[in-house]
Amino acid sequence: MAAQPSPNRDVPGTSNAASGAAPLLQLTDLQMYFPVTSGVLISRHVGDVRAVDGVSLSIQKGETVGLVGESGCGKSTVGRTILRLYRPTGGRIVFQGQDITTAEGSTLRSVRRRMQMIFQDPYASLNPRMTAAGIVSEPLEIHGVGTGRERRQRVRELLATVGLDPDYGDRFPHEFSGGQRQRIGVARALALHPDLIVADEPISALDVSIQAQIINLLERLQGEFGLTYLFIAHDLSVVRHISDRIAVMYLGRLVETATSRELYERPLHPYSVALLSAVPIPDPTIEGRRRRIILTGDVPSPSNPPPGCHFHTRCWLRARLGNPERCVEEQPALREMASGHAVACHFAEEVEGSPEQVLQISGESSGGSVTATAATAATPPAPPAPTQGSLPAGPSAPQRPVPRPRERS
Amino acid sequence: MHLLSIIDLVVRFRTHDGTVYAVNGVSLDLDEGEKLGLVGESGCGKSVTNLAVMQLLPKPAGKIEGGQVVFQGQDLLSLDESEMRELRGKEIAMIFQDPMTSLNPVLTIEEQMVETIRAHRRVSKSEARARTLELLNTVGIPQPEARLRNFPHQFSGGMRQRVMIAMALALEPKLLIADEPTTALDVTIQAQVLDLLQRLAAEQGTALILITHDLGVVAGMTKRVNVMYAGFVVESASTPDLFARPRHPYTVGLLHSMPRLDAQPGEPLIPIEGVPPDLRRAPVGCPFAPRCAWRVEKCWTAMPPLDPIDATQEIVTTGPNATHRIACWNPVTPEEAVAARPLRAGFAPAAHPTETVS
Ligand SMILES: Nc1ncnc2c1ncn2[C@@H]1O[C@H](COP(=O)(O)OP(=O)(O)O)[C@@H](O)[C@H]1O
Ligand SMILES: Nc1ncnc2c1ncn2[C@@H]1O[C@H](COP(=O)(O)OP(=O)(O)O)[C@@H](O)[C@H]1O
Ligand code: SF4
Ligand SMILES: [Mg+2]
Ligand SMILES: [Mg+2]
């Protein structure tokens, strides 16, 4: 499959290829820069936080797409921009066939009826001075739906739908537990029969035993109401569980999109492999044998992202390949490597992702330290360096006898 | 003799809206160099147990109302504040989820590390500084020389936690208590920090109590686990044993309610119904009873003791052969642990006793 010449186009593999129907939501090269200014009296524009830097993604009706990546990668900004809480600085958002990139006024209001958001923090996102019924009823009132009586009836239905006692409607948020508060947030999001729900880390603030309750609730509601979800989270095991497809984000860009099964069975971007490899698994036998790929350092600042491939400063694959210049010089396009599986890495052919590689459960005997040390995992002894900048990409790239991460310990 | 023994610890908070029954008779032993996980949901008493060991309970509300804490043969509860201060850092160190709570925001990293070292060791300023530099290097702070002059807020979350680890291990303590050290971090940074902790604890032979709500972290980092619920230890076993043969309904519930990365596609989650208990009520019966699918009549009225699964077994409290113990009147069978529900014909959980409390 030929690489796209530029990432600034509709990209194959960023949508559910199996379905020919028009997507519910289509993002094309979406860009959201926040200006950085300095100066007290006269503020000068001195740069941008490139929170979202060219994201193309489409979501089919009824699907759940997971968006993962480390914090600060721009996941919430993607969600908030889709809901048009921001006006994008570039690119296009098409929702149900309608270009809403710059929509305003009544058009925007009608769009917002059809899209809702569920937030991470059920403590901060509910008005503490309103009752549960008032909170759930508010969107109905804002949009003038039904009579007072009808609204009260609808609120009772909604509370029951999310598993709350309708008689608790007159209680205030602080009288509910965290999980119950999140249910109130879900009921409010459902009030206007939305088509798309952006759930931004909806379970991250909840107790472990409560998280599964909310995940199961969201899954049930999707079946009942034909909802479409963009599910944002940093926990890959949760995202894998709930999503049909997963988009992996790094510093404002998508680096890989695949079905959740594919992403787990054959991750092709070195960042995805590292993310999967970092997730602890509640099994001491597996953990005891794992040799983790440990990324060095933190995510760089989105106001000054590294050139070329944003990931190159932390990339274990690039290090293994002898630090080719191409990663620094050229932004890798998101290219389709298999049907519905796209990846933005010049050297994705070298990844050979597999559950074995990610879990590192094959080959080695258990015992010893759980992980490779940060130093050895991230900066392995460089193989004989090929001439810089001359590495051909693609399946024809010569096989180098370089050690795989699992062979290091 | 064990390095640390907590014996029947009871901690309560007297607040204006009543008593909080935070820790209700916790016992545990820890040997030198051992790695113990304390796992359970928020509010189950993990932090309070360890703050009691360190005698850092918030005053005046938090009080140790019973039990003993014996460290290297010494009864810690009989020590005065200056003796405790001597012990903290030097013998027992603690790191927290939010390093900012234990770093001084107005001192540079150099100032506070040098101060910590010199408070316990007779070394010159320049020796302490050299040690500081060495420690920052060990924990993987890039350009440590330049970073010495930085303030805590100038570090990222992961780097701050590394600084905390450097400070905690500066005096080569016998015991390190790590309270949710990676809960606020991304998985990638968590992997870095856990790797570091693992390596340094192994090098120095430090015993570790790792507090977390993440069973995955426990699986990778510890050799023994205590599962806590509502201020009680409800299951205690070697780590391999606990994951292979969980026997307490709460542990089984936790294991089935979190999605696993290596799960079969489509594998359903089985949540624990209900909510964690309100610790402002004095515990009556088994605290898990209201949420438990295995409960029998007795569970409503009597708290089960933490007993060996095999009653004939002699109890070993530490090491890889620690006795598997649970506090449950109706233990989960191995088949039920897989199914996450009772499988006995005709069994139904005992009904709530006729509501007498409102
Ligand atoms: N309203 C805003 N103004 C300026 N910068 C912002 C704003 N919102 C987010 N950012 C910045 O954009 C980047 C991406 O943030 P966010 O979308 O919240 O990431 P994530 O949800 O993946 O953690 C971060 O560097 C963040 O500080
Ligand atoms: N300062 C305090 N005042 C009153 N109650 C407290 C205080 N600190 C902790 N508690 C209560 O003690 C119980 C145990 O808390 P803690 O040990 O912090 O739980 P965790 O297992 O999450 O670490 C909780 O119910 C908590 O509300
Ligand atoms: S393009 Fe280069 S730096 Fe980027 S992920 Fe691929 S190998 Fe790593
Ligand atoms: Mg976010
Ligand atoms: Mg705690």
- Least distant ligand from the CA of A207: 2
Rounded to a whole number, what is the distance in Å from the CA of A343 to chain B's nearest CA? Answer: 20
Model confidence band, residue A298 (pLDDT cutoffs 50, 70, 90): confident
- pLDDT 10s digits, B182-215: 988 899 999 999 999 999 899 999 999 999 999 9
Higher-scoring residue by pLDDT: A392, A190: A190
Interface test with A, best of B187, B248, B260 (most A CBs within 10 A): B187
- The reply to whether ligand 2 has any atom less than 6 angstroms from the CB of B208 is no
The residue among A8 and A94 whose pLDDT is bigger is A94
According to DSSP, residue B323 is labeled P
Q: Which residues of chain B does A274 touch, with a Cβ-Cβ cutoff of 8 Å?
A: 188
Looking at the predicted structure, is the pLDDT value of residue A366 above 60?
A: no
pLDDT, greater one: A17 or B98: B98
Q: Are A369 and B199 inside 8 Å of each other by CB?
A: yes
Mean pLDDT of A235-248: 95
C-beta of A238 in contact with ligand 3 (< 6 A) = no
- The continuous run of DSSP H or E covering B286 comes out as none
Please state which of the ranges A319-333, A360-374, B10-24 shows the lowest mean pLDDT. A360-374
Closest listed ligand to the CA of A255: 3
Residues of B in contact with A283 (CB under 8 A): 219, 243, 260, 262
pLDDT at A360: 54
pLDDT tops 60 at residue A16? no
pLDDT at residue A374, rounded to an integer: 32
**Site to substitute for ligand 1 among A34, A120, A255, most atoms within 8 A of C-beta:** A34
CB contact, 8 Å: A92 with chain B? no
Q: Give pLDDT, residue A15.
A: 58
pLDDT at A255 over 50: yes
ipTM of the predicted structure? 0.90
pLDDT of A407 reads: 31
Query: Which residues face B232 on adjacent strands?
Result: B229
Ligand 2: residue whose CA is nearest its atom 16:
B45
Give residue A42's pLDDT band: very low, low, confident or very high (50, 70, 90): confident
pLDDT digits over B284-323, tens only? 999 999 999 999 999 999 999 999 998 888 999 999 999 9
User: Which atom of ligand 2 is least distant from the CA of B51?
Assistant: 17
Domains in chain A with CATH codes: 16-36+51-250 (3.40.50.300), 268-371 (no CATH)
Q: Answer whether A317 contacts ligand 3 (Cβ < 6 A).
A: yes
Q: Do residues A261 and B267 make contact, with C-beta atoms less than 8 angstroms apart?
A: no
Give the rounded distance of the alpha carbon of B222 from its chain centre: 11
Q: How confident is the model at residue B354 (pLDDT cuts 50, 70, 90)?
A: low
Test the B interface: residue of A209, A244, A260, A360 with most B CBs within 10 Å: A209
Residue located nearest, by CA, to atom 11 of ligand 1: A51
Identify residue A138 by its one-letter amino acid code: E
Q: For position A208, what pLDDT does the model report?
A: 85
B355 has pLDDT over 60: no
Three-state secondary-structure class, residue B96: coil
pLDDT digits (tens, 9 = 90+) for A185-240: 999 999 999 999 999 999 988 888 889 999 999 999 999 999 999 999 988 999 99
pLDDT for A356 beyond 80: no
Give the mean model confidence (pLDDT) for residues A148-174: 93
The number of C-beta contacts closer than 8 angstroms across A and B is: 155
| pLDDT tier for residue A355 given thresholds of 50, 70 and 90 | low
Structure token pair of residue B70: 């014996």
CA distance B220 to chain A (A): 5
Query: Regarding predicted confidence, which is higher, A256 or A370?
Result: A256
Mean pLDDT for the stretch of residues A350-374: 48
Query: Torsion over CA of A78, A82, A84 and A87, rounded to 10 degrees?
Result: 60
- For residue B264, what pLDDT band results from cuts at 50, 70 and 90? confident
For residue A397, which ligand has an atom nearest its CA? 3
Structure-model confidence comparison of residues B98 and B245, the more confident one: B245
- A360 or B252, higher pLDDT: B252
Confidence of residue A116 (pLDDT cuts 50, 70, 90): very high
Mean pLDDT of chain B: 92
Tell which residue, B175, B187, B237, has the closest CA to residue B216: B187
Cβ-in-10-Å burial (0-12, 13-18, 19+) of A18 comes to: exposed
Q: What is the mean pLDDT of chain A?
A: 83
More confident of the two residues A55 and A295: A55
Judging contacts by C-beta atoms under 8 Å, the chain A residues touching residue B268 are 216
The more confidently predicted of residues A131 and A44 is: A131
Does residue A219 contact residue A227 with C-beta atoms inside 8 Å? no
What is the per-residue pLDDT for A359? 61
Q: What is the pLDDT of residue A14?
A: 60
Q: How far are the Cα atoms of A235, A253, B260, B308 from residue A246, in angstroms, in the given order?
A: 12, 14, 16, 45
The sheet with strand A228-232 has its strands ordered as A115-118, A196-200, A228-232, A64-68, A245-250, A253-259, A341-343, A335-338
Residue B247 in this model has a pLDDT that exceeds 70: yes
Q: Which residue of B has its CA nearest to A285?
A: B240
Asked if the Cβ–Cβ distance from B259 to A216 is below 8 Å, we say: no
Residue A3: predicted pLDDT:
41
Residues of B in contact with A213 (CB under 8 A): 271, 273
> Collapsing DSSP states into helix, strand and coil, what is residue B276?
coil
Asked if pLDDT for residue B326 goes beyond 70, the answer is yes
What's the pLDDT score for residue A69?
95
Specify the pLDDT at position A372. 32
pLDDT at position B347: 93
Whose alpha carbon is nearest atom 26 of ligand 2? B43
* pLDDT(A380) > 90: no
